[in-house]
Amino acid sequence: MSGVFDPGELSAYQRDGYIFKRGLFSVEETDLLRTAAKSDKAMDAAATALDDGAGNRVRLSLWNHPGDGIYGMVARCLRVVDSVEQLIGNEVYHYHSKMILKDARTGGAWAWHQDYGYWYQNGLLFPDLCSVMIAVDPANRENGCLQLLRGSHHMGRVNHVLSGEQAGADLERVAEAEKRLELVHAEMEAGDAVFFHSNTLHCSGPNNSDNPRWAMVCCYNSAANNPYKESHHPGYTPLSKVDDSRVVEVGLGNAALSAVEFAKIDEDDHSAKLLTETAED
């Protein structure tokens, strides 16, 4: 199994629960991805706005199967999938991808959570999943970049409660974790990526700037962690990897190939809604 990480980076991921890969996608690739996404009317129409519990709404569009368009090439290319397999140490499959459409001035916040806080509800016994966030626009503190608590994946799964329409980690534990663990702002240029463990606590602030902060997040599950029950995300489905060159080839080609089937998050995704509201909210 190849992949982009050297042994030092693999150790850093085990220690910290995340690892950055700057320039994972070239300017050309990222421009093609951004152009496809921002002109994708179906993605815009499918976007669900989730209340962040503070009066703002964060928009996202999600799809379960990577497809044959540029989104699929990004999610299926060797440099991403082989690298996730290095981190997980096993074959992985595509669990879903999503676009976080954090628009200028209006994009809401994400409450502190672990991805496994959502996915635990989906019949996954082990937290053997990894998310890859790829910056489609530059991300910084002003436009609400991702924030991670370094090493928090070692805490194991933290209880989650409903926070607005999102799953939020138990804030008492988050507050204690914040006293002990380093807060890392994932400031990224377009094309940079951060790979993070499903138990890494993360959040992001609202976008109070004039610049959008869109990001594509590709999520993978270990093939050995097939869910024991059905949910709105797929069970083991072999992932057909593609050569890295396909991102540009497909991006320059037929835009219609980009069509993916967007999920109806409002109707199908009950993982946050299954949680109970916080008593003090």
CA distance 237 to 95: 9
When asked if residue 197 is in the footprint of ligand AKG (CB under 6 A), the reply is no
When asked if residue 96 is in the footprint of ligand AKG (CB under 6 A), the reply is no
CA distance 281 to 275: 14
When asked if residue 215 is in the footprint of ligand AKG (CB under 6 A), the reply is yes
Minimum CB distance to ligand AKG, residue 76 (Å): 19
When asked if residue 217 is in the footprint of ligand AKG (CB under 6 A), the reply is yes
Residue position matching structure tokens 């097939």: 226
Minimum CB distance to ligand AKG, residue 200 (Å): 10
CA distance 51 to 57: 5
Q: Which two tokens stand for residue 203?
A: 């959040």
Q: Which string of x and - marks every residue 106-125 that binds ligand AKG (by CB under 6 A)?
A: ----x----x----------
When asked if residue 62 is in the footprint of ligand AKG (CB under 6 A), the reply is no
Minimum CB distance to ligand AKG, residue 187 (Å): 12
Q: How many CB atoms lie within 10 A of CB 104?
A: 14
Q: Which of residues 125-164 bind ligand AKG (CB under 6 A)?
A: 146
Minimum CB distance to ligand AKG, residue 161 (Å): 16
Non-local (6+) Cβ contacts of 154 within 8 A are: 17
Q: How many CB atoms lie within 10 A of CB 91?
A: 15
Which residues of this protein are in contact with ligand AKG, per CB under 6 A? 100, 110, 115, 146, 202, 204, 215, 217
